[in-house]
Amino acid sequence: MTSLALETDVLVVGSGAGALTAALTAAELGLDVLVVEKGHLWGGTSATSGGTLWIPCSRHMREAGMEDTAKEAFAYVKALVGDETPDSKIHAYIDNASRMLDFLERNGGPQFRCVNYADYHMDLPGAKQNRSHETLPITAGQLGPDYDSLQPMHQAGQAFGRVNWTIAEARPIITRGPGWWRSVLKVMLCYWLDLPQRLRTAKDRRLTGGNTLLGQLRRGLNQRNVPVLLGVACKDLILEGGRVVGAAVDANGEQRNIRARRGVILAAGGFERNNEMRNAHFATASSADWSGSQRNNTGDAILAAQRAGAALDLMDAAWWAPAFRLSDEERARPMFVERALPGCMIVNQRGRRYMNESASYHVAGGEMMRLDSPECPTAPSWFIFDAEYRGKYAVGPMLPGPPSWDGRVKASFKEVLRKGATVSELAAAIEVAPEVLEATFARFNEYADKGEDPDFDRGVNGYDRYYGDPRNSPNPCLKPLREAPFYALKIFPGDIGTKGGLVTDEHGRALDESGQPIAGLYAIGNTSASVMGRSYPGAGATLGPAMTFGYLAAQHAAQMPAS
């Protein structure tokens, strides 16, 4: 670690997308900036993610021929959020998200493109395609030595658990849509033809998703000589006269104080890897083992701010996702796509369906949490599919193939997978009443033959169909389960992060219990209570607000008198 500065204009706690956007904005405005990261890898959960941003009204949308207005975007978000978020904060996001994007592109930050991705609630007024944006790929060589300490992509977000891909490349491969073989060939050639890297390690040097987003942000910071210090944990905030003027940190075992003349921006993620906080706030018992987030998100910054007088909200909420956990992996694997494909269903521990499996992962995971009860437990549930599904689509680390390949599946996946030659045998394997599971199969299959789901309307919403198989007619999300053997995977109501934290205003300023700003303190991303309330409008509704309010917080701090 380089020498630890004891004074700076802006101290940014955390190194995810929101943190580095705030740092880059502050540096561009002429401020001295210091970024500190608790872990020994930088990039936070953002770097491990798909790296998508939900940005209304962007120039990229216009260039793609998709018109959008602030009025439509507000109507859509407001319909989801209701009164959980002040209108002023929603407007601040919608009015500034595209400005943040343009600012980064003009000033050496990431370069973006919008993708043909459906909003998660296409049935609501104001919903659109193309609001989700991804970052253009770069190579690891453009990062130099910083690449070695970048948080790796989550295995669930890579092809075959190791190869990086863009959204445009991933969708046809996952759904077997038109041109899927060309996409497979492209991503595999990019990977295997990088011969020097293949001789060194399996790690992919072509950066996509969260890795390219964070890589390009870090490159912008390096051009401005902004230090990002690893192994520096924020332990407490320092107050003088009611103003936050810095932070007490643990720098690789050494206790230090850092003074921040303009402000401290907390961008250290949520508390999803803290079991005590989860069970203190969530309505249903849960486990940090169910989270797909990286292990450093234990709520330290939230607790420090609370001790400094900050108000908290939405502490019972998370960005939910059905997930499974393998014993040899550090993080759970969220199921973003598998549920939407035809030939599968989800049942509770009584063997009954209880949701639209193709709904967004946030809605599906939320249903698992909401409906869990002693009478009909849904935590865990069972993701069920048949041999035909197994032959066409990947399920986590189990690649498509015939049942005769089951022996090749890695041991940790077999631990959470059950199998039966008949529905009755599968029922015995998952300990549910055979007659109940057989009745569930019968009803599901009867209507799936017609492409219908009278119980939960699967495949009706435009988003449902986004990850469906376009070759399957009349409903790309529905097909009967009839080909033995049958499989069941144990899944939990997991998450990709919590969304409760500090109450903030339209500038990202932390508010106290009386609703007044705490001078010198800002919070963004999952350290703050989400502008999206308990909802999830579309892909990138986590990173888009984190980066936008990072941009706004840095601008506000730049206007403040130095302490």
Q: What is the DSSP letter of 298?
A: S
Alpha-carbon distance of 280 to 104, in angstroms, equals 38
DSSP 348-360: -TTS-B-S-TTS-
Burial of 154 per CB tally in 10 Å (0-12, 13-18, 19+): buried
Helix (H) or strand (E) holding 59: helix 59-63
Burial of 490 per CB tally in 10 Å (0-12, 13-18, 19+): middle
- Domain boundaries of the chain, sorted by first residue: 326-495
Is domain 326-495 classified as CATH 3.90.700.10?
Answer: yes
**Coil, strand or helix: which one is 474?**
coil
Minimal CA–CA distance to 345: which of 358, 363, 326, 332? 358
Do the beta carbons of residue 213 and residue 110 sit within 8 Å? yes
Alpha-carbon distance of 164 to 214, in angstroms, equals 14
CA angle 370, 375, 381 (to 5 degrees): 60
Burial track 171-203 (b if 16+ CB lie within 10 A, e otherwise)? bbbbbbbeeeeebbeebeebbeebeebeeeeee
Q: How far is CA 507 from CA 100, 197, 514, 519, in A?
A: 13, 44, 17, 12
Alpha-carbon distance of 423 to 441, in angstroms, equals 8
**Other beta carbons less than 10 A from residue 307's beta carbon:** 11
pLDDT at 1: 38
Minimal CA–CA distance to 213: which of 52, 389, 356? 52
Contacts of 546 (CB under 8 A, 6+ apart): 16, 17, 18, 21, 46, 267, 524, 525, 526
Q: How many residues does the chain have?
A: 563
pLDDT per residue rounded down to tens, the chain (563 residues): 345 668 999 999 999 999 999 999 999 999 999 999 999 999 999 999 999 999 999 999 999 999 999 999 999 999 999 999 999 999 999 999 999 999 999 999 999 999 989 999 999 999 999 999 999 999 998 999 999 999 999 887 777 778 888 887 877 777 777 777 788 888 888 888 777 777 677 778 889 999 999 999 999 999 999 999 999 999 999 999 999 999 999 999 999 999 999 999 999 999 999 999 999 999 888 999 999 999 999 999 999 999 999 999 999 999 999 999 999 999 999 999 999 999 999 999 999 999 999 999 999 999 999 999 999 999 999 999 999 999 999 999 998 999 999 999 999 999 999 999 999 999 999 999 999 999 999 999 999 999 999 999 999 988 999 889 999 999 999 999 999 999 999 999 999 999 999 999 999 999 999 999 999 999 999 999 999 999 999 999 999 999 999 999 999 999 999 98
pLDDT at 2: 45
Alpha-carbon distance of 376 to 416, in angstroms, equals 20
DSSP 359-390: S-HHHHHHHHHHT--SSS--SSEEEEEEHHHH
Q: In 400-472, where does DSSP find H-type helix?
A: 411-414, 423-429, 434-448, 462-466
Alpha-carbon distance of 313 to 303, in angstroms, equals 13
Contacts of 498 (CB under 8 A, 6+ apart): 270, 271, 272, 278, 297, 299, 315, 317, 318, 319, 526
Do the beta carbons of residue 257 and residue 6 sit within 8 Å? yes
Do the beta carbons of residue 47 and residue 140 sit within 8 Å? no
Minimal CA–CA distance to 160: which of 188, 198, 194, 123? 188
Lookup result for tokens 């994007």: 101
Structure token digits, residue 66: 């998709």
